[in-house]
Chains A and B, each alone.
Chain A
Amino acid sequence: MFRLLLSILIAIFSSLSIAQQAGRGLTPLPDRPPAPDFVLADMDGNQHQLSSYLGRVVIVNFWATWCPPCRAEMPSMQRAWEQLEKEGILMLGIDVGEDEDTIFQFTANYPVEFPLLMDLDSSVIDQWPVRGVPTTFVVDPKGRIIYRAIGGREWDDPELLALVRALKQ
């Protein structure tokens, strides 16, 4: 009886943890493809062209407000941004298909300070190797995609940040 109860408890807690936990690690892309360039506006109307950030490490995150893992990783992205901004590493969140009003409402509950760009017609995400959101890429100072993460991450994890920082020239 005890073993049965123990099995049930293990099943309950392991299932809950599987559903809720973030993913782990960053996957190196062996061919280091060039990051497709884009020009997108952020919430303040500023234009961001990826190629203008050559020389810097850039984290590019594709997301949407309705996506549960995207929402879940936003606070850790903000915490990571608070460390990385002063080190010259850039973070860009690219919302897919939603307008400024929708994103603005979202940021009332999930305040973030890094630029949130709008890919209204999905023309940018379609140029990147993305099949589901969130997907995040780390681009090195030469404009090459070095790492990919499919699904949410704890972006302020020191081990993960160490991989990002190591790309600085």
Chain B
Amino acid sequence: MGLLIATALPGQLSAEILTGKEEQTGLRTWEWRQAGISIQLVQRSPDQTRAFFQGRGFSPKDADSIALACVFQTIFRNDGQQPLSYDLNEWQITYQDERFPLQTRERWEQNWLDRAVQQAARIAFRWSLLPTRQSFAPGDYNWGMTSFGLPPGASFDLSLVVIVNGKSISGQIPSVVCAVDLP
């Protein structure tokens, strides 16, 4: 992990954004924190993602379609004192002044059914993505991939919503960048 820089966003007094870069890989990270809640995005290089999914039964072509969909490893933790829940269908990205939804498990699943991807590969895919909906008690967390459907190198803003003890909290992680596809 390289240098991390904390930024407080206007209007979100208690939220904190940390950015960094992993020294060995050069992969960049973004983290949103508020009241003990942490959502960390770590770039996955397209080659990492290709290798992962080809190793779990996807054809090179199908693995490539995931790898080029702007995939991040995501670590979502509730280290606060209140229960929380989220629904990725309520999150959005802004890219070139347009808003788009996240590519959730369910959105990908129909694609795999249409392409007759084998069951073992579909199971691995489903469980390797961050759950679309989740409820965390204090102390719970998940790791999982998130995909944003943008080309390598694209920059976007992520708008997120978390329900903490029944209260909706909105946040934004600005200027997130998809990993580039090295030749």
Q: In the bound complex, what is the Cα–Cα distance between A16 and B1 (angstroms)? A: 8
Nearest CB in chain A: distance from B71 CB, A: 14
Nearest CB in chain B: distance from A88 CB, A: 27
Contact B127 A97 (CB under 8 A): yes
Q: When each residue 121-144 of chain A gets 1 if its CB lies under 8 Å from chain B and 0 otherwise, what string results?
A: 110000000011100000000000
Partner of B137, one of A7, A27, A68, A121: A27
Q: Tell me which residues across on chain B come within 8 A of A133, comparing CB atoms.
A: 127
Contact B79 A64 (CB under 8 A): no
B123 interfacial contact with A, CB 8 Å: yes
Q: In the bound complex, what is the Cα–Cα distance between A18 and B100 (angstroms)? A: 29
Contact B143 A69 (CB under 8 A): yes
Partner of A18, one of B77, B130, B131, B138: B77
A23-B123 CB under 8 A given contacts A11-B6, A15-B31, A16-B1: no
Contact A23 B141 (CB under 8 A): yes
B146 interfacial contact with A, CB 8 Å: no
Q: When each residue 109-148 of chain B gets 1 if its CB lies under 8 Å from chain A and 0 otherwise, what string results?
A: 0000000000110011011101111101111111110000
A54 interfacial contact with B, CB 8 Å: no
Majority SS of interface residues in chain B? mixed
Partner of A97, one of B31, B120, B143: B120
B38 interfacial contact with A, CB 8 Å: yes
Interface size class of B (residues with CB under 8 A): 35 or more
Q: Tell me which residues across on chain A come within 8 A of B139, comparing CB atoms.
A: 23-25, 27, 149, 151
B20 interfacial contact with A, CB 8 Å: yes
Contact A12 B1 (CB under 8 A): yes
Shortest Cβ distance from B125 into A: residue: A97
Nearest CB in chain B: distance from A8 CB, A: 7
Nearest CB in chain A: distance from B8 CB, A: 12
Contact B40 A19 (CB under 8 A): yes
Nearest CB in chain B: distance from A166 CB, A: 18
A23-B119 CB under 8 A given contacts A15-B4, A132-B130, A132-B131: no
Shortest Cβ distance from A149 into B: residue: B140
Q: Tell me which residues across on chain B come within 8 A of A15, comparing CB atoms.
A: 1, 4, 18, 20, 29, 31, 40
Q: In the bound complex, what is the Cα–Cα distance between A122 and B119 (angstroms)? A: 10
Q: Tell me which residues across on chain B come within 8 A of A25, comparing CB atoms.
A: 137-139
Partner of A27, one of B29, B140, B142: B140
A12-B140 CB under 8 A given contacts A19-B40, A131-B131: no
Task: Give 5 new A-B contacts, CB below 8 A, not counting A25-B139, A27-B139, A64-B124.
Answer: A12-B20, A18-B75, A121-B119, A131-B131, A132-B144
Measured CB to CB, the residues of B under 8 A from A are 1, 3-6, 18, 20, 29, 31, 38, 40, 52, 56, 75, 77, 79, 119-120, 123-124, 126-128, 130-134, 136-144
Measured CB to CB, the residues of A under 8 A from B are 7-8, 11-12, 15-16, 18-19, 23-25, 27, 64, 66-69, 96-99, 120-122, 131-133, 148-151
